[in-house]
Amino acid sequence: MAVKYSFIILKAQSEENESLDPYIDLLQKKGYEVHFVPTLQFEYHNLDVLKKKLNQPMNYSGLVLTSPRCLRGVMKSLKNDKLDENWHQKPIFVVGETTSRLVVNELNQEPVGAYSGNAMSLIPILSKYELTKPLLAPCGNLNLNILSDNLKSIKLENVEVYRTISHSNLENNLRTTLDQIHNEIGLIFFSPSGFQASIKLIPENYLKKIVLFSIGPTTASAIKQAGYILSGICDKPKPESMLDMIDNYMKCQVL
């Protein structure tokens, strides 16, 4: 008899007013029991600094937006103003399909790099361009400087526009969710900060019987460095890739 699993999605609450998170939606359509516990929330700042730089497109070769929060920082800095038209003559590089979709919807511009699943996979894309001026890169306080550290001939000008903090109700929401699940439990982590905020709040008796999954190699690295065993790693931040990871794990449990 196959073991039944319930999965807990541990990631930041979407700021894009989605009616249903696409990761949760896909897992539910496949018949899995799914719970969502928001792990992080964001505080935006330095928006006046970013706006000043956005008003000087002549100083840059383009924009780099590595997450939806980076794009949200741009929109908050602009308020009711439009992005300077000169940016439309410059590339906007993105990580992930969600960020790409938001650039199209919010800035009316076709971005580059939608299918890059992480910052490292964006590097070869950037290297194909002749970028003589810096790239303007809004970022968060937990920016790992992956692009800056690995790009030799391209300069990034980072502007911190948001801080990542633990969700105010994380501990209560997490414990309540764990207590109401009667199946085996799979935790799916979407970021190193989300993992670090959550794992310390899980009671010891649960840690012995849960399995851990990672969305992305950076999150996987953080989980492994903390001494935990991963049951699956999803290389691309896409619902379909996550489902493949879960299905592969479930097949192994049946064998």
Q: Which region among 18-22, 76-80, 114-118 has the lowest average model confidence (pLDDT)? A: 18-22
Is 172 in contact with 146 (CB distance < 8 Å)?
no
208 with 112, same domain: the answer is no
Query: Is the pLDDT score of 232 beyond 90?
Result: yes
Which of 97, 130, 164 terminates a domain? The answer is 164
N residues, the chain: 255
Examine the domain organization and report whether 75 and 141 are in the same domain. Answer: yes
> Does residue 59 register a pLDDT over 50?
yes
Query: Which of 164, 186, 211 corresponds to the end of one domain?
Result: 164
Same domain as 120, residue 190? no
Domain count, the chain: 2
What's the pTM?
0.81
pLDDT tens digit string along 174-184? 999 999 999 99
Domain termination residue (choose one: 99, 133, 164): 164
Lowest mean pLDDT among 28-32, 188-192, 236-240: 236-240
What is the residue range of 190's domain? 5-39+167-254
pLDDT surpasses 60 at 16: yes
Cross-sheet strand order for the sheet of 135-140: 40-44, 156-166, 135-140, 62-65, 92-94
Please, what is the average pLDDT of the chain? 92
Q: Examine the domain organization and report whether 171 and 148 are in the same domain.
A: no
Report the distance separating Cα 73 and Cα 191, nearest Å: 19
Tokens 């490292």, residue located = 120
47 and 33 within one domain: no
Compute the average pLDDT of residues 7-34: 87
- pLDDT category, 254, cuts 50, 70, 90? low
Based on the domain organization, do 49 and 159 belong to the same domain?
Answer: yes
Across 38-63, average pLDDT? 97
Which carries the bigger pLDDT value, residue 17 or residue 247? 247
Task: Express each pLDDT in 91-137 by its tens digit.
Answer: 999 998 889 999 999 999 999 998 887 888 899 999 999 999 999 99
The model's confidence at residue 1, banded by pLDDT at 50, 70 and 90, is very low
Residues 94, 142, single domain; the answer is: yes
Same domain for 73 and 138, yes or no, is yes
Of all residues in the chain, what percent carry a pLDDT higher than 70? 96
Q: Which two structure tokens, joined as six digits, stand for 29?
A: 């359509």
pLDDT average, residue stretch 66-79: 95
- The band of 17, judged by pLDDT with boundaries at 50, 70 and 90, is low
Please report the pLDDT score of residue 185 as a whole number: 95
Say if residue 158 is in the same domain as residue 172. no
The CATH number of whichever domain residue 82 belongs to comes to 3.40.50.10090
149 confidence band (pLDDT: 50, 70, 90): confident
Q: Do 150 and 47 fall within a single domain?
A: yes
Return the amino acid letter for 96. G
**Residue 19 pLDDT grade (very low, low, confident, very high; cuts 50, 70, 90):** low
